[in-house]
């Protein structure tokens, strides 16, 4: 599967953005989808994930209540709604996919086989 992330940009603190990740192929619904981010000078970290049907989601503690992951299997797209943005949310956001994810591994970067190219989110104070 090929992933194409979009929707990043420059936003003021407190603002909102919606990231999208479009996937190729006809088996999108079989993949667990996730978002990770990498801030300047830091390691890539887990942000959120959604299982195949979209019914089960996971969010990192740092974004709970502010970010929401969702998916539209009819459009082969996963979304990340970013609200109440903070300067520390500034990062390149990557979408990732894996066809055989289990819950215990969902926050682990190495568990995902497919990655998009990233989209930059910059939050000004």
Give the mean pLDDT of 15-27: 94
**Interatomic CA distance for residues 106 and 101, integer angstroms:** 7
State the pLDDT at residue 73: 94
Whole-angstrom Cα Rg for the chain: 13
State the pLDDT at residue 54: 86
Instruction: Kindly state the percentage of the chain with pLDDT values over 70.
Output: 100
Pairing of the two strands 32-38 and 57-59? unpaired
Give the mean pLDDT of 100-122: 94
Average the pLDDT over each of 39-43, 57-61, 66-70, 100-104 and give the range with the smallest value.
Answer: 100-104
Give the mean pLDDT of 16-44: 95
Instruction: Kindly state the percentage of the chain with pLDDT values over 90.
Output: 90
**Interatomic CA distance for residues 13 and 117, integer angstroms:** 25
Alpha carbon distances (Å) from 38 to 44, 83, 89: 4, 18, 9
At 112, the pLDDT band (50, 70, 90 cuts) reads very high
- When the pLDDT of each residue in the chain is averaged and rounded to a whole number, the result is 96
pLDDT at 26 over 90: no
pLDDT at 102 over 90: no
**Interatomic CA distance for residues 107 and 93, integer angstroms:** 15
Q: Most distant CA pair in the chain: distance in Å?
A: 41
């Amino acid at each position: 599967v090929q992933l194409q992330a979009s929707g990043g940009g420059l936003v003021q603190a407190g603002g909102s953005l919606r990231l999208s990740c479009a996937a190729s192929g006809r088996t999108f619904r079989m993949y667990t989808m996730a978002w990770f981010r990498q801030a300047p000078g830091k390691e890539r970290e887990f942000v959120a994930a959604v299982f195949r049907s979209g019914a089960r989601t996971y969010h990192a503690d740092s974004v709970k209540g502010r970010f929401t992951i969702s998916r539209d299997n009819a459009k082969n797209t996963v979304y990340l709604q970013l609200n109440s943005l903070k300067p520390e949310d500034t990062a390149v956001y990557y979408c990732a996919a894996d066809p055989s994810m289990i819950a215990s591994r969902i926050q682990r970067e190495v568990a995902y086989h497919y990655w998009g190219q990233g989209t930059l989110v910059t939050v000004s104070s």
